[in-house]
Amino acid sequence: MITYKHFTLKVLHIAPECSPLAKKGGLGDVIGTLPKALKKQDIDARVLLPAWPGVIEKAAKIGKLNKEPLGKISVALNWRAYTASVLEADIGGLHVYLLDQPELFSDPNIYPERLDQETILPFVFLSFASFELPKLNGWKPQFLHSHDWTTAPVSAALRWHRYYSSFNEDYDTVFTIHNLAFQGIINHSVLDGWGFCPDAYSNLDSDSMEFFGQLNVMKGAITTSEAFTTVSPSYSWDIQTPNGGLGLDGVIVANRDKLRGIINGIDYDVWNPETDCFIPSNYSLKNMSGKEECRKALLKECGWKDDGRPLLIFVGRLTEQKGVDMMTQALKSLLTKKVRCVIVGSGNDMYTRKITEFEKENPDSVHATLEFNEDMAHLTYAGGDILLMPSLFEPCGLSQLIAFAYGTIPVARATGGLADTVIDADGSTDGTGFLFTDYTPSELKKAIERALEAKKDNEKWNSIVKNAMSADFSWDNSAKAYAELYRDILTSD
């Protein structure tokens, strides 16, 4: 319990995504769920989010939006003041502050294609807005918790900003790395316009944001936050190696005393085949007949007749990280006779084109929905047999956890959060999936073949499905771990 007589632990999460209001990937799910789970730990956790196009309308539609702004906040950037109205909303028990600033928050895609002095400004504004918020309503968190490079300037500003460094004693900061591949690397000339002092880029200080002649925003958060975390224990070790560290391994090793790996959870209010209203028939371990109905519905959606071939599914971002190229190569020789594949996800043009080609070449075996489509994602998880997750690296991964809940069995590469959550069914009676290690199409193919073999053995398959569906990855455990981290930081102050 973190409530003392006159003391409630308050945490502000600062991020550019928060499901269901704004979501591009797993980060959105985490920000939309973790604060609610923290509430159950008696922590008053709230979210600061930009009002990207459509967000205010969505908040009014699905939640309770106070149309009367709480007030205005201004932040000085590049020698001018940017002002935002702050709106308050309750989204299913989640307390969200929305920054209404259409000039900065105009991109419905949230993340810019290229990072430069202009395109980074929305994120710097979001970060600094966290220091201005308490002036509006007196709600002053002890913790500012930022996520990924976009809000990494929060803790860096408390160290190096000419004005905000005066708040350094007021806050503790936690920084969570959801993906080290994006570090916010940019020319250091931007720093002056943000109000940072030259020390922030001093090459005499190994903790500064200097990084091979450029500015690395994420490095600044790693060195200046009270603690930093990754979204699985294995990923916290991966990023300490030259391979996984992507240039930051040295910095991470030097700061490892304040690093923790805390596995994400999933929201079982959303991802539960027993109650899911997106799927045509509900089911649970006690009665699995609905899964067969969902399979039929998925086949119909793809325009296919059932020929008994297992349905492999992929639900996620179409990026290099997710092993999309390797997946299509491994599938080539399997598709004609052995399996079919349903793909749901969005990605950049290159991958969208590749998958469209792949679908055209295999009309009877590959079906792709190339957008983030919630209905189709739910139906695919429920109707599929095997989930493919051949990631090059995976900080946590949510798809495998969702697949477990729907009795869809993952074939996954043993990396990061996948290694932490999937148990290989050929090595253990507690198995929940099939793992492979080397990042090659042939190794992935072998793992798929092991899964297909297991699927032929009803008894074995049912026990894997049972293990998967009984696995508990609710947010409660993760929230407890974060609560413990906050408490440890407070007591060591």
Binding site for ligand GLC (CB under 6 A): 25-27, 30, 178-179, 231, 264, 394-398, 417
The CB-of-473 to ligand GLC minimum distance in angstroms stands at 11
Question: Which residue carries 């297991």 as its tokens?
Answer: 454
The CB-of-330 to ligand GLC minimum distance in angstroms stands at 21
The CB-of-304 to ligand GLC minimum distance in angstroms stands at 30
Cα 230 to chain centroid, rounded: 11
Return the H-helix or E-strand segment holding 462: helix 458-470
Question: Which residue carries 């002002």 as its tokens?
Answer: 83
The CB-of-446 to ligand GLC minimum distance in angstroms stands at 24
The CB-of-126 to ligand GLC minimum distance in angstroms stands at 18
Return the number of the residue (208 or 229) whose C-beta is nearest ligand GLC. 229
Quote the CA–CA distance of 203 and 298 in Å, as a whole number. Answer: 57
Q: Which residues contact 340 (CB under 8 A, 6 or more apart)?
A: 302, 304, 309, 310, 311, 312, 364, 365, 366, 367
Return the H-helix or E-strand segment holding 366: strand 366-369
DSSP state for residue 201 in the 8-state scheme: G
Return the number of the residue (215 or 419) whose C-beta is nearest ligand GLC. 419
The CB-of-311 to ligand GLC minimum distance in angstroms stands at 23
Return the number of the residue (82 or 228) whose C-beta is nearest ligand GLC. 228
User: Which of 183, 260, 241 lies closest to 415 in space, CA to CA?
Assistant: 241
DSSP state for residue 449 in the 8-state scheme: H
Helical H segments across 247-373, by residue range: 249-254, 289-302, 324-335, 349-361
Radius of gyration of the chain (CA): 23
Return the number of the residue (283 or 475) whose C-beta is nearest ligand GLC. 475
Return the number of the residue (29 or 88) whose C-beta is nearest ligand GLC. 29
Return the number of the residue (264 or 467) whose C-beta is nearest ligand GLC. 264
The CB-of-61 to ligand GLC minimum distance in angstroms stands at 25
How open is the CA angle 117-118-120, to the nearest 5 degrees?
A: 75
By Cβ distance, which residue is nearest to ligand GLC? 26
* 403 within 8 A of 381, measured Cβ to Cβ: yes
Return the number of the residue (36 or 367) whose C-beta is nearest ligand GLC. 36
The CB-of-226 to ligand GLC minimum distance in angstroms stands at 20
Beta-strand ranges (E) seen in 198-254 are 210-211, 214-216, 227-230
Supply 374's token pair. Answer: 């919630």
Pairing, β 80-91 against β 64-77: antiparallel
Residue type, 5: K
Question: Which residue carries 């899911």 as its tokens?
Answer: 276
The CB-of-181 to ligand GLC minimum distance in angstroms stands at 8
Supply 454's token pair. Answer: 């297991």
Return the number of the residue (238 or 276) whose C-beta is nearest ligand GLC. 238
Return the number of the residue (150 or 208) whose C-beta is nearest ligand GLC. 150
Helical H segments across 63-139, by residue range: 121-137
Return the number of the residue (26 or 410) whose C-beta is nearest ligand GLC. 26
User: Which of 69, 70, 68, 61 lies closest to 91 in space, CA to CA?
Assistant: 61
Please report how the helices 374-383 and 289-302 are oriented relative to each other, as an axis angle in degrees rounded to 10: 130
The CB-of-28 to ligand GLC minimum distance in angstroms stands at 8
Please provide residue 178's backbone torsions phi and psi, each rounded to the nearest 5 degrees. -95, -25
The CB-of-238 to ligand GLC minimum distance in angstroms stands at 11
The CB-of-27 to ligand GLC minimum distance in angstroms stands at 5
Quote the CA–CA distance of 393 and 321 in Å, as a whole number. Answer: 6
Return the number of the residue (201 or 314) whose C-beta is nearest ligand GLC. 314
Return the number of the residue (30 or 447) whose C-beta is nearest ligand GLC. 30
Quote the CA–CA distance of 192 and 218 in Å, as a whole number. Answer: 18
Collapsing DSSP to helix, strand or coil, 475 comes out as helix
